[in-house]
Amino acid sequence: MHSREREELFININPLQTAGRTRAAVRKAVTRYVDGYSVCDACTGILHDIEKPPIKSLTRELAEFLNVDEARTTAGAREAKFMVMHSECRPGDILVLDGNAHYSTHVAASRAGLETVEVPAGPPPFFKITADAYAQTLAEVKARTGKPAALALLTHVDGDYGNLTNAAAIAAVCREAEVPLLLNTAYTTGRMPVDVRALGADFVACSGHKSWGACGPIGVVGAIGEHAAHLFRLDQRFPKKNIELLGCTARGSNIMSLMEALPLVKQRIKRWEEELENARWFAARMEHIGKGGIKLLGDNPTNHDLMRFATPLFHEIGQRQRKKGYFLHKELTDRGITGLKPGQTQWFKMSTYGLSRSQVEYLAQAFEEIAAL
Amino acid sequence: MHSREREELFININPLQTAGRTRAAVRKAVTRYVDGYSVCDACTGILHDIEKPPIKSLTRELAEFLNVDEARTTAGAREAKFMVMHSECRPGDILVLDGNAHYSTHVAASRAGLETVEVPAGPPPFFKITADAYAQTLAEVKARTGKPAALALLTHVDGDYGNLTNAAAIAAVCREAEVPLLLNTAYTTGRMPVDVRALGADFVACSGHKSWGACGPIGVVGAIGEHAAHLFRLDQRFPKKNIELLGCTARGSNIMSLMEALPLVKQRIKRWEEELENARWFAARMEHIGKGGIKLLGDNPTNHDLMRFATPLFHEIGQRQRKKGYFLHKELTDRGITGLKPGQTQWFKMSTYGLSRSQVEYLAQAFEEIAAL
């Protein structure tokens, strides 16, 4: 079954997918601009200045939406992160990053030739990233090398536990240490309100296909003040072209899909409290169903729709089932629920993003039935 | 009017568009996989190893099709070029490139911090890039710096004149000079047969949205031998992840569109001689119509569907027309022909790619009528 058909027929709880589902207007835009360089027809050399289709307005709107001075689309959040690292640092420089950072953050740092120093996450079951830990790591780097780290990166909400970090406090610590901060919002912007300037970060990376309901791959990179001027510096010989963007990035239907996705995103972030209530209700219900055999990891109560559960109960049930570890995936599929990795029973990640309360109740009921097997 | 509607209703002669038009199967694949991370559902950590949808087969097929040892999708040809430059060179290294290279090649070199040394194109009206000129420039670089250039790049067919270079001869010269060669085939692979190994290049960059009829942005990068091993090296901490690809690149519907585009591409390159005959017939006809006032620039007879004409005749006619320089665009639009930049009359670039002979005859007739105004 193809993805679009599955999205129509199933409740998908894969955290990679829940906030990436497209609406009809987005799919229509993709089809309209599907051919080659179609958005470039009216380009006079600067993609983000194209007035028809209104990419120029989109570019301004993105900066306003994130509250940064300048924003541009990229091929994804990882490309946005690499762009900032490559622009701000030199090979051998130190990047301080949180212990819950995504693998693509580490790979981007490898590509930029950076030494990474991790701010350790706190102990289980919370795995918390704190401002105190950032302060300590930044101080250790300075003590060791005699100068501040070149860059700090914070995963605003991480993809392992859905932990919401205190970005404002961590940004203040970075500012105090004179280290610019890149906020990776792959799991926040597009889902919940994020004001980059108010938080105090210098750069932001976003994922259009993960959290904005756009057709990927597409991301957004934003920057504030002199950081923006440097990140978006122009080529000497081709002075219309951004060096770090290689001239222009998300050309084609992907940028048109983001344009169509943005109005919905602006609306849906206002309902974030409802999303949180759904997630918290669900997590509490799961822990109740599990009677100790299902445990929410990370922030508890959760501060995000992405939740990781330790589920020794399902592992135990799997031992008695004919399909063993695959029983959970099968039982969920039989109930019209998809998105859990087959074979996984000891723990899993899931998301309730975009589901109605009655769908969340249906989900809880499904898990309750399965827990009784 | 949106691009797709224009593609249905007009003859589009914009060289950026003619070989980027999607077929229905491609558009269907885009819609099916339009949601977020849909192709990643069955991923176990390596995008190009996904078996369902068959991205693993696609990856193998791409390498076979280009005749390289390894190939991967990228966010576009410019990203492929930057990837090779970033992987092969260090900031300050010298890149030798042809005088007809695309701006994105220069911007990629700027981003990689490279010094560029140009192999000059020959004099007008042919602007020819020769193996002798490469040999001389490579020798000059070695004489000045005491060592071979770090990398050479050849624009296989350039976007200004549509000149087909003698890649085999230039590759032999580069090999002799011990300089690895990156072949930028944005205007060749997907349109005409290209055998990278037989030509003797070490790397290849391709544009899916420019020349393969795929939904962009998407490109392909390929490499041979030890160059492939280095370009596609893995991260130490995340040993499933390619460093230069940032883990994975063209995730989403773009890679699915390339998968659907490839079978057509394999067929259509067999008809390259017909495409060439159409282009040559058209160019000869234009020069005949112009009576000296229309002149084909670059290779003559042309070796590509992208053609640049100097058109003093149309400029002269424009002086007498109410719409001045905009008359040519208007007259073509009135005849159902699109893709020429409004206001341009002294010269223009166009392409006959994918047009039937009767459409090319219609085009010639339209220009003949306009030349008689």
The number of domains in chain A is 2
Interface A-B, measured as beta-carbon pairs within 8 A, has a size of 201
Q: Please give the pLDDT value at position A1.
A: 62
Q: Please give the pLDDT value at position B353.
A: 98
Q: Please indicate if any CB of chain A lies within 8 Å of the CB of B95.
A: no
- Assess whether B163 and B276 both reside in one domain: no
Q: Please give the pLDDT value at position B69.
A: 98
Q: Which residue of A has its CA nearest to B103?
A: A238
* Residue B77, pLDDT above cutoff 90: yes
Chain B residue numbers touching A37 (CB-CB < 8 A): 14, 16-17, 20, 209-210, 216
Judge: B235–A19 Cβ closer than 8 Å, yes or no: no
CA separation for the pair A69, A60 (Å, rounded): 9
- Assess whether A145 and A294 both reside in one domain: no
Chain B residue numbers touching A9 (CB-CB < 8 A): none
Distance from CA of A174 to the nearest CA of B (A): 26
B residues 202-221 near A, CB within 8 Å?
209-210, 213, 215-217
- Assess whether A216 and A309 both reside in one domain: no
* Residue B289, pLDDT above cutoff 90: yes
Q: Please give the pLDDT value at position B1.
A: 62
**Per-residue model confidence as pLDDT tens digits over B231-258:** 999 999 999 999 999 998 788 899 999 9
Q: Please give the pLDDT value at position A7.
A: 78
- Assess whether A244 and A293 both reside in one domain: no
- Assess whether A28 and A53 both reside in one domain: yes
**B14, B33, B37, best to mutate vs chain A, most A CBs in 10 Å:** B37
> Can you state the angle between helices A24-32 and A253-268, rounded to 10 degrees?
160
Q: For B228-334, where are the E strands, in sequence order?
A: 295-297, 306-310
Q: Please give the pLDDT value at position B132.
A: 98
Mean pLDDT within B130-156: 98
Q: Please give the pLDDT value at position B142.
A: 98
**Residue A41: which pLDDT band, with cuts at 50, 70 and 90?**
confident
For B47, the token pair is: 């995008």
- Assess whether A46 and A105 both reside in one domain: yes
Mean pLDDT within A203-212: 97
**Residue A8: which pLDDT band, with cuts at 50, 70 and 90?**
confident
Q: Please indicate if any CB of chain B lies within 8 Å of the CB of A199.
A: no
Q: Which of B268, B303, B327 is the last residue before a domain boundary?
A: B268
ipTM of the complex: 0.95
Higher model confidence: residue B344 or residue B274? B274
Q: Which of A237, A268, A299 is the last residue before a domain boundary?
A: A268
Q: Tell me the residue type at A8.
A: E
Q: Please give the pLDDT value at position B2.
A: 64
What CATH number does residue B28 fall under? 3.40.640.10
Chain A residue numbers touching B107 (CB-CB < 8 A): 235, 238, 241-243, 246-247
Q: Which of B243, B268, B293 is the last residue before a domain boundary?
A: B268
Distance from CA of A205 to the nearest CA of B (A): 15
Chain B residue numbers touching A209 (CB-CB < 8 A): 36-37, 251-252
**Residue B27: which pLDDT band, with cuts at 50, 70 and 90?**
very high
Q: Give the predicted TM-score (pTM) of the model.
A: 0.97
CA separation for the pair B28, B22 (Å, rounded): 10
Judge: B35–A7 Cβ closer than 8 Å, yes or no: yes
Nearest to B313 by CA among B256, B266, B370, B355: B370
Q: Please give the pLDDT value at position B6.
A: 77
Q: B322: number of CA atoms within 13 Å, CB side? A: 2
* Residue B269, pLDDT above cutoff 70: yes
Judge: A36–B209 Cβ closer than 8 Å, yes or no: yes
Q: Please indicate if any CB of chain B lies within 8 Å of the CB of A16.
A: yes
Q: Please indicate if any CB of chain A lies within 8 Å of the CB of B76.
A: yes
Q: Please indicate if any CB of chain A lies within 8 Å of the CB of B252.
A: yes
Q: Count the neighbouring beta carbons within 10 Å of the beta carbon of residue A312.
A: 15
Distance from CA of B30 to the nearest CA of A (A): 8
Give me the domain span that covers residue B171: 24-268
Mode of pairing for the β-strands spanning A219-223 and A70-74: antiparallel
* Residue A167, pLDDT above cutoff 80: yes
A residues 286-305 near B, CB within 8 Å?
none
Nearest to A107 by CA among B239, B369, B46: B239
CA separation for the pair B211, B219 (Å, rounded): 10
* Residue A45, pLDDT above cutoff 80: yes
A residues 310-349 near B, CB within 8 Å?
none
B residues 31-50 near A, CB within 8 Å?
31-41
- Assess whether A334 and A352 both reside in one domain: yes
Mean pLDDT within B24-51: 88
Q: Please give the pLDDT value at position A2.
A: 65
Cα dist from A130 to A45, A148, B194, whole Å: 44, 19, 55
Mean pLDDT within A193-222: 97
Nearest to A169 by CA among A159, A181, A161, A158: A181
- Assess whether A253 and A309 both reside in one domain: no
A residues 117-156 near B, CB within 8 Å?
none
Judge: B34–A215 Cβ closer than 8 Å, yes or no: yes
Judge: A34–B16 Cβ closer than 8 Å, yes or no: no
Q: Please indicate if any CB of chain B lies within 8 Å of the CB of A236.
A: yes
Chain B residue numbers touching A78 (CB-CB < 8 A): 246-247
Judge: A2–B32 Cβ closer than 8 Å, yes or no: yes
What CATH number does residue A358 fall under? 3.90.1150.10
* Residue A28, pLDDT above cutoff 90: yes
Q: Please indicate if any CB of chain B lies within 8 Å of the CB of A51.
A: no
Pairs from B60-65 (Cβ < 8 Å, separation ≥ 24): B61/B262, B62/B220, B62/B222, B62/B262, B63/B222, B65/B262, B65/B265, B65/B266
Mean pLDDT within A166-193: 98
Please report, rounded to a whole number, the percentage of residues in chain B having pLDDT higher than 90: 90
- Assess whether B68 and B211 both reside in one domain: yes
- Assess whether B112 and B260 both reside in one domain: yes
Distance from CA of B331 to the nearest CA of A (A): 18
Q: Please give the pLDDT value at position A191.
A: 98
Mean pLDDT within B283-303: 98
Q: Please give the pLDDT value at position B9.
A: 85
- Assess whether B177 and B69 both reside in one domain: yes
Mean pLDDT within A258-284: 98
Among A95-104, B17-26, B302-311, whose mean pLDDT is lowest? B17-26
For A263, the token pair is: 């109005």
Higher model confidence: residue A203 or residue B41? A203
Judge: A247–B107 Cβ closer than 8 Å, yes or no: yes
Please report, rounded to a whole number, the percentage of residues in chain B having pLDDT higher than 70: 99
Q: Please give the pLDDT value at position A39.
A: 86
Kindly report the average pLDDT of chain B as a whole number.
Answer: 95
**Per-residue model confidence as pLDDT tens digits over B172-205:** 999 999 999 999 999 999 999 999 999 999 999 9
* Residue A272, pLDDT above cutoff 80: yes
Q: Please give the pLDDT value at position B268.
A: 98
**B38, B97, B111, best to mutate vs chain A, most A CBs in 10 Å:** B38
Judge: B111–A86 Cβ closer than 8 Å, yes or no: yes
Judge: A78–B34 Cβ closer than 8 Å, yes or no: no
- Assess whether A69 and A206 both reside in one domain: yes
Chain A residue numbers touching B244 (CB-CB < 8 A): 111
Q: Please indicate if any CB of chain A lies within 8 Å of the CB of B265.
A: no
